[in-house]
Amino acid sequence: MSISEAAISTLRETLVSSVIFTPHDEGYADALRRWSDTGAKPAAIVIQPTEVKDVVTALGWAQDHHIDLAIKCGGHSVSGTSSSNGGLVIDLSRMKNVTVDTIKKTVTVGGGATWKDVDEAAAEHGLAAVGGTVNHTGVGGLTLGGGYGWLSGMYGLTIDNLLAATVVLANGEVVKASATENADLFWGLRGAGYNFGVVVEFTFQAYEQRNLVYAGIVAYTPDKVESVIGILNTLLLDNPDPRSGAMCIFARPPGAPVPMVNVLVFYNGSKEEGDARFTDLLDLNPVVNMIDMIPYSQLNSLQNPMATYGGRKSFKGVFFNPPLEPIFAKTLLSDFTAKVQSDPDLGASGIILEFYDMTKTLEVPRSATAFASRGSTQNGIITLRWTDESKDLEHRAWAREVQDRWKVNLDAAKVDVKGKADVPQYINYAEPGDSVVSNIYGENLERLKQLKAKYDPTNVFCKMHPIRLG
């Protein structure tokens, strides 16, 4: 459906604090830019409001004219859920103010902020909040889907530290959601929050974080993969420490002929404590060692060189019950290497496997929030990157095949899975339509349907893992 110039003029005239882009406006192409080129679509109009009242106006206008609607914060969706083909995009990126209450140790964040905004503002006061692991990720998207980060071992998920949110509902009402105001909506926002409205402000609990942290990447040749995975398994299962975490990343660093076994390590303590924690990894004689003592606010920038904007991308979430079988990881690395070598255009691709202490996350009952995949299962991502649009279907199909193999491996594992029923897939790593989990909301679905009927009965918010009423 095309949008008439008269309709667009009406919206222009009624907005009071927005920058507006249509195909005829300078800056339109930049307004469509997303983290992945596969997530970019040609909207008829993009607005970047600075005040809540313009969000209210735009929501009403889109519904009055029956226009497709998308909400954009960080723009990291590779499937285009923050974009609209011919419709309206409400881009919150200008609503990114961050204020810190040093007495209550809270951080209040605009709906368009990134974690870089939060990390740096909090650090000025010796504080940190539980955020993501790539700092140009949007606060809104990560939070509404749960939110794992380097501090999750100590403090739980991002949603476990969410104190309040301000939401613009489909009917234009602006409401507060917290444990004491609209508590049912607050429950739903924490794990299925894409479905209920536009969150224009978040308030998080923050924590003292004045010390430097031990962090950086160590890299190993492919023949060390089984040893590396074995050490990470042991650290997680036999010697858990909430101050610690690691990511194993199969990727080809600049200048390397093949994908390497890269490990990003983290310890919230001194160099001596970090070295002791990861002594077995260090004894494997990495070919690269970039570990250093750095400010926490710098930690979430360490993956940025591997997670740059541009290119075509596919995200496929994987998951495993620790211990991860070293031989399975070896086979995965071998197959991934063969795939990358068969097509040099995939050279910037990677597979990321997370090793986080889930003890704190498991302390919160699954029924306490809408987040359905709360448990001991570890998360990972197959992230392919290429430039040739004609290869979209081929590369996505290969990633889907690997994802399906992971699901088979999970089902076959003889491991006790704490706290988790039938939803091992982390929602923020799941593209809409992924087949590995048929119901991303698990046992919480029926309650979520009731909330959807109450807060968004006409299904205005239906881009990211929509809750179907019919």
- 457: Cα within 13 Å, side-chain hemisphere: 3
Residue-wise pLDDT for 174-217, tens only, equals 999 999 999 999 999 999 999 999 999 999 999 999 999 999 99
| Helix ranges restricted to H, 350-442 | 359-362, 392-412
Q: Which residue has the tokens 């990291």?
A: 76
- pLDDT the model gives residue 409: 76
Closest CA to 392 of 311, 281, 298: 311
CATH 3.30.750.210 fits 98-209, yes or no: no
- pLDDT the model gives residue 405: 86
Q: Which residues of the chain have pLDDT under 70?
A: 1, 413-422, 433, 435, 470
Q: Which residue has the tokens 């003029």?
A: 9
Angle at which helix 445-455 crosses helix 183-192, to 10 degrees, equals 120
CATH number of 7-92: 3.30.43.10
Task: Assign 379 to helix, strand or coil.
Answer: strand
Contact indicator for 325, 409 with CB cutoff of 8 Å: yes
How many Cβ atoms sit within 10 Å of the Cβ of residue 26? 7
CATH 3.40.462.20 fits 213-429, yes or no: yes
Answering whether pTM is above 0.85, one says: yes
Task: Assign 89 to helix, strand or coil.
Answer: strand
Residue-wise pLDDT for 232-268, tens only, equals 999 999 999 999 999 999 999 988 999 999 999 999 9
Burial class (CB in 10 A: 0-12, 13-18, 19+), 367: exposed
State yes or no: cis peptide before 323, omega within 30 of 0.
Answer: yes
Mean pLDDT (the chain, rounded): 94
- pLDDT the model gives residue 175: 98
DSSP assigned state of 347: T
- 71: Cα within 13 Å, side-chain hemisphere: 30
Closest CA to 70 of 49, 51, 52, 45: 45
Residue extents of the structural domains in the chain:
7-92, 98-209, 213-429
Burial class (CB in 10 A: 0-12, 13-18, 19+), 75: buried
Distance, in Å, from the CA atom of 172 to the CA atom of 38, rounded to the nearest integer, reads 31
